[in-house]
Amino acid sequence: MNCRTKEYTVIKMFNTNFSARLVNKYRLPILAVIVLFIVGAVFMFVQSNSQTNLSNNGYEDQRKETAKAPLLPMVSEQKENLVEGELSSQGEVDSRSLLEAQQVFEQETANEQGSGEPLNQEPPDLMTITLAGGCFWCVEGALQDLGGVVDAVSGYAGGSAETANYLAVSDGGTKHREVVQVTYDANVISTEELLNKFWSTIDPTDPGGQFADRGFQYTTAIYYHTDDQKDVAEASIASLNKSGLLEAAVVTEVVPYTNFFRAESYHQDYYQKSAERYKRYEVASGRAGFVAETWARDEARAYFEARANQAPTAQSSGGEYDYTDEEIAELLKNLDPLAYHVVAENGTESPFNNQYWDNTAAGIYVDIVTGEPLFSSTHKYDSGTGWPSFWRTIDDDSVTLHEDNSLSTTRTEVRSAGGHVGHVFDDGLAAEGGRRFCTNSASLLFVPKEEMEAEGYGEYLYLFKEV
């Protein structure tokens, strides 16, 4: 063995002994490092899984929220397409996607009041009435901000099913209507005033729906909660029919309230949440145009102002013009001989020789005995007979019709609360229904339009166009 080999052997032995001593010395620290590395790896793995689960859960929550978000534009797509003028195959709703979104929405709101759950009634010191006027967005928007209105909630009413939702009702397969349930303080706003605002937002003469929304679910109705509300509603309709503001009779039903299902949350306060779309829809559907043409006229404004100024006695009939037979007999004594002969003794004055036959001034003609309004100059025309002739009365209830056989032919007598007024014939203006109320001037008292307010007849100024 040479010197170089010996040297290599000694070095190798030294290195081996040194390594063994080194491992022996640092064995525990090395093991600790390995254990910490393993524990760290396990911890990182567990943490990663936990974050993944949290992320998945968050995504699931977000997915549900996202599923609800498109629901509003989907269910409103047909109305929105109407606004954009795109009622075509492009405007059809994807019913399957809509159904899926609806199911997610119903699951999310299952524990909330609404979306198919009957609405709890308000405290007894407030009143509630349920109104159907077509699209509930528009009715809610018109009524919500009225003084005295506590709340206006969109929903569905009138059907026999135990629940209701937008999909079922809008398809027209149920007997529900879109409605707005209004809670109001009658000390601030009366039922009559509330109905006046309701009329001024709808077309109460349309039996098939409202404007672009067609079908029973969009027809008009008043669901009364009390008998007083029923009386006021019926009186309000009668007054509207007699006002001459509408070209056809009111077809709005007055029916007892049975149920109400709150509409989905995306329908509530739509006029505020989607104001631009709401306004475009209101115009494109034809509602805004009808309201401007029919209810914004001076005659309509005067009519509603007069109704608002009336005492809340719409449910009563006759009112201040109700007299007993004894009272009428006393009042008749105040008439001049000609008037007494005509009114009390069923007389007839001379044609072309009486006070009002050719009167063309604006005003109303009232019962000379009781003062009850009977006819208006706006309904008067020259029949060529020499007696004051009208094609209608102001209020059908102000006169009664009776068979008269006093002459050789049978005629129809017209009587007021005070007595004989004249007769009605079927030879009147065809365009106005064909009736001619032939009256005696002596049974009437003319009140000029300029004096009506001072004489207590301001509520009838709606009959005349404001200038």
**pLDDT, tens digit (0-9, with 9 covering 90-100), for 89-145:** 333 333 333 444 444 444 444 434 444 545 555 454 699 999 999 999 999 999 998
Q: Please state whether 384 falls in left (phi above 0), alpha (psi between -120 and 50) or beta.
A: left
Structure confidence at residue 211 (pLDDT): 95
Q: Say how far apart CA 281 and CA 275 lie, in whole Å.
A: 10
Q: Say how far apart CA 440 and CA 260 lie, in whole Å.
A: 53
Q: Which of 238, 233, 235 is nearest to 257 (CA)?
A: 233
The yes-or-no answer on residue 138 being catalytic is no
Q: Tell me the average pLDDT across 327-342.
A: 92
Q: Which residues pair with 400 in a beta bridge?
A: 415
**276 within 8 A of 76, measured Cβ to Cβ:** no
> Which one from 284, 314, 438, 452 is the annotated catalytic residue?
438
> Cα 103 vs. chain centroid, distance in angstroms?
28
Q: Which of 370, 371, 393 is nearest to 439 (CA)?
A: 393
The chain-wide mean pLDDT, for the chain, equals 79
CA angle 459, 462, 464 (to 5 degrees): 125
What pairing do the DSSP bridges indicate for beta strands 436-439 and 420-425?
antiparallel
3-class SS shares of the chain: helix, strand, coil, % to 5 = 45, 15, 35
Q: Which residue has the higher pLDDT, 49 or 196?
A: 196
Residue 122 in tokens:
């308000």
The kind and range of the H/E element at 332 are helix 325-332
Q: Which residue has the higher pLDDT, 38 or 109?
A: 38
Q: Which residue has the higher pLDDT, 89 or 303?
A: 303
Residue 319 in tokens:
């009112």
With cut-offs at 50, 70 and 90, classify the pLDDT of residue 311: very low
Residue 110 carries which DSSP code? T
Structure confidence at residue 162 (pLDDT): 84
pLDDT(31) > 50: yes
> Which one from 131, 132, 135, 452 is the annotated catalytic residue?
135
Could you tell me what percent of the chain has a pLDDT over 70? 71
Structure confidence at residue 400 (pLDDT): 92
Q: Say how far apart CA 220 and CA 205 lie, in whole Å.
A: 9
Is the overall model pTM greater than 0.75, yes or no?
no
pLDDT(25) > 70: no
Residue 64 in tokens:
């549900």
Please, is 247 exposed, middle or buried when counting C-beta atoms within 10 Å of its C-beta (0-12, 13-18, 19+)?
exposed
